[in-house]
Amino acid sequence: RFNVSEENFATCIVDEVNAVKDGESVKGLPEALLFACGFVGSLSYETREECDSPIFFANDSSSNSNTMVKAALYFVDQAVVVDHEKKMVYAMTLTEDGPETEDLFEALEWLATTTRDINRSLLNKVKHVADEMPKKTVVTQNCTQLAESIGFKWRDDKEEYMEKIKTSQERILDGHTYEVCLTNALTRRDVGAYKQTRHLYRELYYALRERNPAPYAAFFDFSNGAGEEKAHFSDMYVCCASPERFLRCDQNGNLEAKPIKGTIARVEPLGCAEDVKAARDLQTSVKDNAENLMIVDLLRNDLSLACEVGTVKVPGLLKIESYRTVHQLVSTVVGTLPSTSSGENHADGNADDNDKRISPIRAFQFAFPPGSMTGAPKYRTTQIIHELENEQPREMYSGSVGFWSCRNKAFDANVVIRSVTYKDGEMKIGAGGAITRLSDPLEEWGEVELKARRIVETVAEVERKLEREREIKDYSSYA
């Protein structure tokens, strides 16, 4: 486990991954499987200081506090990887290079034990905790009312947030920015039950995944630190049901970003005429199209800093992706890194003079933080966001979780949205939206509540279930 709050995350990743021989690390694995051991974990929005962001952030006291975790990563040398599309399960491990070493025998023993356990699990049809969750209940309260009923409070209430929207529009009119991705946060302190019951976080994630299925969902438990690490990891979890890919790089250096800008609630029953109309309205919305196009242009620029000239393209523009609760407007931006020459990439992501290739991790740095969570132009807009959000760190929300593989330095990372994070006795739910000149402050507040609502409902549901279990246990003890 690595806490890289006080060192450069890119150097940390490159040093470890470069120590693995690509050819030796992929024996027996299909070409399409990008992860072949390596780093998995989460990067906070504040990791921007180590990437392509304004220098003034380097002295930002809010993100340099002792409690800030900028990046939290595991180096995974043993893993079970599930390919849901092809219905395949892979057990993999890294070993020291060389013939019949003790390390090799230990790896083979682990593989044998793990594959046996996997087969038993499949035979027993093991189900996760979400199978025990009750059916969705009807909630008549709006998002804010429900959140407040279980102890959450917005950082900016409705009036304060709408005032910040108006300030964003003033910055746009003054020519400082085109689009500001403003965010808000629901927070709650001293959640005693979560401190005492570690499995509750996993149950919360399963429930979130059940109620809000998403292709880039993730759960991380960073609570197992020891020694000095405990100061940073003693109480930290990330539960994320993100529908958005930030950036992916395959083993051939092909990059893909899929920014989301534009959200509208679905209409039940799903697929009905009104639901179809809602999707069509989103796809033809002048405001939402403008939001999306500006971020597409931003990402085209970010990728062009690393990619071969002429390879940056937009194969998918303003496409609708539908999820259980919302329709989203999604575009796809791709590019290809220059092919490797005889030079050697250094830990800082740069190359020797005779090698013009940009390393995958450097390409990641050029694009981070995700443009869909900043606005455009990125430099100036992040400064405006910093001011409007009271210089408060976003932490893991708006950052990224993913993996950085030993296989040709491939990686795949999401944008941390639709998430619950928990650290040092504080639970946080982030939500926000892109502000343009066409934004209506009241509608933007409604979008923030829409994005947070399903997460808040899930937290409330899990806690009601926990309370019922306690009541039953107390009654049984009394009886």
Catalytic positions = 244, 261
Question: Helix 158-173 to helix 378-388 angle, to the nearest 10 degrees?
Answer: 150
- 289 burial class (0-12, 13-18, 19+ CB within 10 angstroms)? middle
E strand or H helix at 187 = strand 179-189
Q: Establish whether the linkage from the previous residue to 215 is cis, with ω within 30° of 0.
A: no
Closest alpha carbon to 313 in 305, 322, 304: 304
Q: Show Cβ contacts of residue 67 under 8 Å, excluding neighbours closer than 6 positions.
A: 232, 423, 424
Tell me how many degrees the CA angle 161-162-167 measures, rounded to the nearest 5.
95
How many angstroms separate the CA atoms of 201 and 419, rounded? 12
- 472 burial class (0-12, 13-18, 19+ CB within 10 angstroms)? exposed
Closest alpha carbon to 222 in 19, 70, 377: 70
- Helices and strands counted in the chain (H then E): 13, 19
Question: Helix 360-367 to helix 286-304 angle, to the nearest 10 degrees?
Answer: 140
DSSP 8-state code for residue 368: P
Residue by residue, DSSP assigns 314-352 as: EEEEEEEEE-SSEEEEEEEEEEEPPPP-SS-B-TTS-B-
Q: Which token pair is 190?
A: 């001293």
Query: In DSSP terms, which residues pair with 91 in a beta bridge?
Result: 80
How many angstroms separate the CA atoms of 269 and 337, rounded? 44
What is the distance of C-alpha 270 from the center of its chain? 27
